[in-house]
Amino acid sequence: MQQYIIGNWKMNGTKAESQKLAAGFLKRIQEATRPLPHIVLCPSYPYLTSVFEILKGSPIEVGAQDGHPEKSGSFTGDVSISQLVDVGCKYVIVGHSERRNFHQESSALIRKKIESAIKAGLRPILCIGETEKDRETGKTLEVIGHQVTSDLPSSFMPHDLIIAYEPLWAIGTGKLPKQEEVEEVLGFIKHELSTHIAGGALVPMLYGGSVNAANAPSFLNLPHVDGLLVGGVSLKLDEFWEIVNASTR
Ligand code: PEP
């Protein structure tokens, strides 16, 4: 399976900076001499259209960082999944820990978003992960198992979505899980998914949390890792491109 390198720009940048970054990645891809992974960039809502206009027709896809499950209505400040499709998005991040923490998103809401995205032809990237306390108390697999069963709809096809394992304590902290810990969790998710749907082990699995150019190869070489979700470093053109070039398939 071709790997995925996904950049979550979070609430960063101006329109000019977002356009410059997108144009920079487009130039890199045009000059690339090796097979590339799937590349997805997720800018802030206001810049989705201008980033999409730059990347349109190139292999780089655009994703959003969240989406409301209802098609339209009185949801001030929200952006619907169908509006995201309308402006060219192919992916949407769902259940990021920052949404769960700062917006109290529940598993029921996350599941609705996933259902709505799949129905609209947008591929959700579901983020799951344990807290530092969960890990210290040996509850990692229990927490991850619970997230898998409560966040996911009862039926979907393996290619409908992507799962990103992001230990909360590794996001933006510089702390990293050991390679064997990542493999253990991803292997466990694959096993859980195969009991959940036919072909569940084929759902692409990403790692995310403090990835940079120096540590990316150690994750991209792991058998269960189908790609990376990159936050902070995805705003750095050269370093993110080094991560793209570290992809192994
Ligand atoms: C993220 O927020 O999804 C993330 C992985 O962030 P960072 O790479 O900055 O840790």
Residue position matching structure tokens 């370093």: 239
| Whole-angstrom distance, CA of residue 209 vs CA of residue 240 | 14
pLDDT at 247 over 90: yes
Provide the annotated active-site residues: 96, 166
**Residue 73 gets which letter from DSSP?**
S
Write the single-letter amino acid at 59: P
| Whole-angstrom distance, CA of residue 184 vs CA of residue 190 | 10
Give per-residue pLDDT as tens, 16-73: 999 999 999 999 999 999 999 999 999 999 999 999 999 999 999 999 999 999 999 9
- Domain span at residue 216? 4-8+38-245
Confidence of residue 1 (pLDDT cuts 50, 70, 90): confident
Separation of 247 CA from ligand 1 center, angstroms? 18
Separation of 221 CA from ligand 1 center, angstroms? 19
For the chain, how many structural domains are there in total? 1
For a pocket test of ligand 1, which of 96, 169, 210, 212 has the largest count of ligand atoms closer than 8 A to its C-beta?
210
Give per-residue pLDDT as tens, 130-188: 999 999 999 999 999 999 999 999 999 999 999 999 999 999 999 999 999 999 999 99
In a domain, 23, yes or no: no
Give per-residue pLDDT as tens, 205-243: 999 999 999 999 999 999 999 999 999 999 999 999 999
Mean pLDDT, residues 66-81 taken together: 97
**What per-residue confidence (pLDDT) applies to 70?**
97
pLDDT at 190 over 90: yes
Q: Atom of ligand 1 at shortest distance to CA of 171?
A: 10
Q: Atom of ligand 1 at shortest distance to CA of 164?
A: 3
In a domain, 238, yes or no: yes
In a domain, 27, yes or no: no
In a domain, 222, yes or no: yes
Mean pLDDT, all residues of the chain: 97
Q: Are 198 and 219 in contact (CB under 8 A)?
A: no
Among the listed residues 117, 118, 144, 122, the one whose alpha carbon sits nearest the alpha carbon of residue 205: 144
In a domain, 91, yes or no: yes
Taking CA atoms only, the protein residue closest to ligand 1 atom 2 is 231
- What is the DSSP secondary-structure string of 41-73? EE--GGGHHHHHHHHTTSSEEEEES--BSSSSS
What is the CATH classification number for the domain harbouring 155? 3.20.20.70
pLDDT at 122 over 90: yes
In a domain, 161, yes or no: yes
Separation of 171 CA from ligand 1 center, angstroms? 5
In a domain, 115, yes or no: yes
**What per-residue confidence (pLDDT) applies to 177?**
97
Separation of 62 CA from ligand 1 center, angstroms? 17
Share of the chain above pLDDT 70, in %: 100
pTM, two decimal places: 0.97
Taking CA atoms only, the protein residue closest to ligand 1 atom 8 is 231
